[in-house]
Amino acid sequence: MKQFLVTTLVCLAFFPLAIGQQLKSPNSKLQMEFSLQKDGTPTYALNYKNKAVIKTSKLGLELKNDPKSLLNDFKIIDTKTATFNENWTPVWGEVSSIQNNYNELAVTLNQNTTDRKLIIRFRLFNEGLGFRYEFPSQKNLTYFVIKEEHTQFAMAGDHKTFWIPGDYETQEYDYTTSKMSEIRGLMKTATTENVSQKSFSPTGVQTSLMMKTADGLYINLHEAALINYSCMHLNLDDKNMIFESWLTPDANGDKGYMQAPGTSPWRTIMVSDDAREILASKMTLNLNDPSKIEDTSWIKPVKYIGVWWEMITGKSSWSYTNDFTSVELGKTDYSTAKPNGTHGATTTNVKKYIDFAAKNGFDAVLVEGWNTGWEDWFGNSKDYVFDFVTPYPDFDLKGIHAYAKEKGIKMIMHHETSGSVRNYERHMDKAYQFMKDNGYDAVKSGYVGNMLPRGEKHYSQWIINHYQYAIEKAAEYKIMVNAHEAVRPTGIARTYPNLIGNESARGTEYQSFGGNNPNHVTILPFTRLIGGPMDYTPGIFEMDLSKMNPENNSHVNSTIANQLALYVTMYSPLQMAADTPENYNRFPDAFQFIKDVAVDWDDSKYLEAEPGDYLTVARKAKGTNNWFVGNVNGNTTRTSTINFDFLEKGKKYIATLYADAKDANYKTNPQAYTIKKMKVTSKSKLNQISVPAGGYAISIMEQK
């Protein structure tokens, strides 16, 4: 059902300092006001239940080599309001139906000196505001270059903030929790080493940015529909508590090459006095266009294992040989090389993973390090680094395809680009066709290291366009994409649902690189996951990584119960059981939850939520009456209290609870857990202790 109403208004009210227009959310809890300052500068403000969320904030864009820019000297020449309400069905998701309900205000501005037009479109949902700049077709503004976007978010206080450093190259940082005023003093310790990074300001942070006010409002700043534009960071004026947009520059230092007609991405502000409403919001998706893929029958959620963690921990290697320090594809003769004995992607090893996947009901197996070129792939600014079609001598690609098909297992291809996007685009059609010819329906792509062309950044406009090109090209071949080290998602998976996963944050792999903060997974759903699902790669059962590689002294800062809960709390239609078969075989009773848990859902209920502290989620498996619950805990022991009123009334269920044991400790006793079965109904309640970096998971099966 869809409802759409448009009303055209011409503003006739003139005030000494401003011309104003107001917009309310459908439930009237949010109110936005647009106004022009005396000098014609556009501004907006946002209130929630009569509390200031965003104080009067300026809007506009500074253009390169343009004496006027699009900053001021505007007058309102037209306003249009509209209301919109529909329900749409996602291809995959947390719920089976999504409501898209907003009130809209589109303000058309004319710049007096230049006779240029700019439209600012606002959409106010019950849970927040989205707005963007639109550049209509016109003779005085056709091609232009953005020097900087000057969108402000003037905060109403010195809020508690969950942030990572602003960086043009990476989001792979632990979150720092502090007041806004403390960001400057904490920036150096928050900026930890990465293989590719470029900070820009001592007060620059990244979206999605989560905040909590002293009086209990939860605020989130992000962007939606990042298409043909550079990624937005936020730079803080910590004297006035104003965040301002800061776009990622290209190799020339420019921040956006634009052509009218065109638009910016949406700038988003979510707000609620209930943290659970932030997590349940589908506003980011709703600000993206409907699916452009007509036949989506080939897009399917995936639970997989893979030849990956053994390389991340250093037990195995991606490379085949230690003989070569320099590789030239098509010229280097691997048949003469001595195998190093540590290569993970061998036919024998991969078949072991296929057997394990088939035995335990998984959908697919990922294999990394299968293709030639890994001996000198990183750190050499190498253009022609991989061809994505040539396997190592010990990887029988055809034989593995046949073996996996016989076992009913799909294979996931790995395409590491080493940041050489020109080389990837050069090979993309051939590589995707190669995948289809050999039974691969999904690809995990990677962008580790500095970008080629040199000087481009991971989040600059040209590279953003590359990521989009890869998604759209994959759709032509009916291939699903899981992009790692790419730009953070902004809801584009609604338009291209073959984008079934992204990394784009500090994932499980960093547990092998020194460890993640114990409360990391209680923050990510409020930040990184606001834009779309994450391939977080949970399911680690052996926390002492020296047992896998004596030279790796890292420790996984988590309990086993916490790792199980992540399959529910870290929503993704692409879920990996990231540990090795050997470690799962040691704990078959705990592993049962990973085997049982769904990857696609009809409904989701956020039962408890506090960023940085705890999160409890219940989800109903697609097409069934079975539910799964996950709880992850932060830095202090806590008792989680939940009701089972999400269950169907009158039905009886058998619940299996996987919880931290009383003596569980993520550092000293992480593998201590208890499992118990119990009968539950919609009237049942649970009080369950979760230790630091711990939690619990529950599978709830309808009793027939």
Active site residues: 509
Pairing of strands 74-88, 98-111: antiparallel
* Of the candidates 25, 31, 32, 26, the residue with the CA atom closest to the CA atom of residue 57: 32
232-237 vs 204-206, strand pairing mode: antiparallel
Contacts of 682 (CB under 8 A, 6+ apart): 644, 645, 646, 647, 648, 649, 650, 651
The three-state secondary structure class of 196 is: coil
Q: In a 3-state reduction of DSSP, which class is residue 392?
A: coil
Query: What 8-state DSSP symbol labels residue 256?
Result: -
Work out the number of other CB atoms within 10 angstroms of the CB of residue 184.
14
Q: E strand or H helix at 184, and its extent? A: helix 183-190
Pairing mode, if any, of strands 410-416 and 440-446? parallel
The DSSP annotation for 453-511 comes to STT--TTSHHHHHHHHHHHHHHHHTT-EEEESSSPPP-SGGGT-TTEEEE--S--GGGG
Q: Are 275 and 611 in contact (CB under 8 A)?
A: yes
Within its chain, how far is the Cα of 229 from the centroid? 18
Which secondary-structure segment (H or E) carries 80? strand 74-88
Among residues 68, 53, 60, which one has the least CA distance to residue 36? 60
Interatomic CA distance for residues 521 and 557, integer angstroms: 11
Which of 420, 464, 414, 411 lies closest to 439, judged by CA? 411
Cα pseudo-dihedral 568, 574, 580, 586, rounded to 10: 30
Run of H or E including 562? helix 560-569
